Amino acid sequence: MADISLQNISKSFGAVEVISGLSLDVHSGEFVVFLGPSGSGKSTVLRMIAGLESIDSGTLLIDGKVSQDLAPGQRNVAMVFQNYALYPHMTVRENMAFGLKNIRLAPDEIKRRVEEAAHVLEISALLDRKPAQLSGGQRQRVAIGRAIVKEPAALLFDEPLSNLDAALRVRTRVELAELHQRMKSTMIYVTHDQTEAMTLGDRIVILNNCKIEQIGTPLEVYNTPATKFVASFIGSPAMNFLSGTTSQGKTGANFVTSDGLTLETNIALSNFGAFELGIRPEAIRISDTADGLPAHVRVVERLGDRTLVYAVLPDGTQIVAQDSGRSGVQTGDKVHLTFDPSQVVLFDAEGKAHHS
């Protein structure tokens, strides 16, 4: 179990710079998730830590040891690949033992480790089968088993659940969380699925366009997103955005919508001008009185425990509001929306967030 430290790491593919000046500290025993859309560079960073991609400049420390020039096998990390990358001609036992034989570990020790890992992952009955005889979920476990028998400083996961069906994905997710709690090992996990990131990560690193947008705990990135990208990427349904302008108000900035309606916030701003207001669906209340923004209900989705109301403001902005499960709102209704002022976020022209 070890710290991993990335210091000012850069990487180019030809003339295209894919990672520039990235710095990050992963603490020992921490579960860090790299979250981002495809092309955000998250897998590249993981592969650079593993040694599968070279690091052009910067320092990579694994357990305090300078590692950017070491071969993958010498970095003491293990990786679980998206397509599992099991050796198809070897049995499960041979797959798990292969790396241990290569470092000339004693046969008894190999046997002990393989059987222990198989026991933990509940694949003891499969040890003499070949990968082709296993289901997707079982292959996934073997891939994890092959990683943990090495007792590595860190376990790296590259979108490990994306090839599983929805039900199995949820189950495996819970099992991964349990595995982390039991092993207390350092884990770095790459995904584009925000639910996986929120449920698994101690901290989430959100990447976009090869840059870190925000690093924080799941609740931090949800409640106080640093940028508009983070705000729009995290949360389902996504945060609502209204465009307008700001001016100085009594308690903080006033936000004026393009329809000329003024919303008071308690966010202190130093500059005013064109801003976007962000508000999560659950922070919007549908009021029966005439205060708030007037809106026209287009679609009502009744999910049982809650109701999603898709409405349109007079200027055409689409808004999703969350109401109780027993909401009486009907399609076609004219309603008024009020926003919880403590949950309003303002984004400036650069996309930077301002919180109250």
Binding interface with another protein (CB under 8 A): 50-52, 71-74, 77-79, 81, 83, 85-89, 98-99, 102-103, 146
| Token output for 242 | 């209204």
Residue type present at position 248: Q
Q: Is the dihedral of CA 201, 207, 210, 211 positive or negative?
A: negative
DSSP β-bridge partners for residue 312: 296, 318
85 vs 308, beta carbon nearer another protein: 85
79 vs 197, beta carbon nearer another protein: 79
16 vs 103, beta carbon nearer another protein: 103
DSSP β-bridge partners for residue 308: 301, 322
Minimum CB separation of residue 74 from another protein in Å reads: 8
Q: Helix (H, G, I), strand (E, B), or coil: what is residue 235?
A: coil
Say which residues have a Cβ less than 8 Å from residue 245's Cβ, sequence separation at least 6: 255, 256, 272, 273, 274, 275
Minimum CB separation of residue 156 from another protein in Å reads: 9
Say which residues have a Cβ less than 8 Å from residue 321's Cβ, sequence separation at least 6: 240, 281, 284, 285, 286, 308, 309, 311, 337
13 vs 272, beta carbon nearer another protein: 13
89 vs 352, beta carbon nearer another protein: 89
Separation of alpha carbons 288 and 290, rounded Å: 7
99 vs 314, beta carbon nearer another protein: 99
- Dihedral pair phi/psi, residue 3, rounded to 5°: -75, 150
Minimum CB separation of residue 225 from another protein in Å reads: 34
80 vs 309, beta carbon nearer another protein: 80
Say which residues have a Cβ less than 8 Å from residue 181's Cβ, sequence separation at least 6: none
Separation of alpha carbons 165 and 141, rounded Å: 15
The answer to whether 145 and 123 have CB atoms below 8 angstroms apart is yes
The answer to whether 99 and 39 have CB atoms below 8 angstroms apart is no
81 Rama sector, left if φ>0, alpha if ψ -120 to 50, beta otherwise: beta
Minimum CB separation of residue 81 from another protein in Å reads: 5
Minimum CB separation of residue 209 from another protein in Å reads: 25
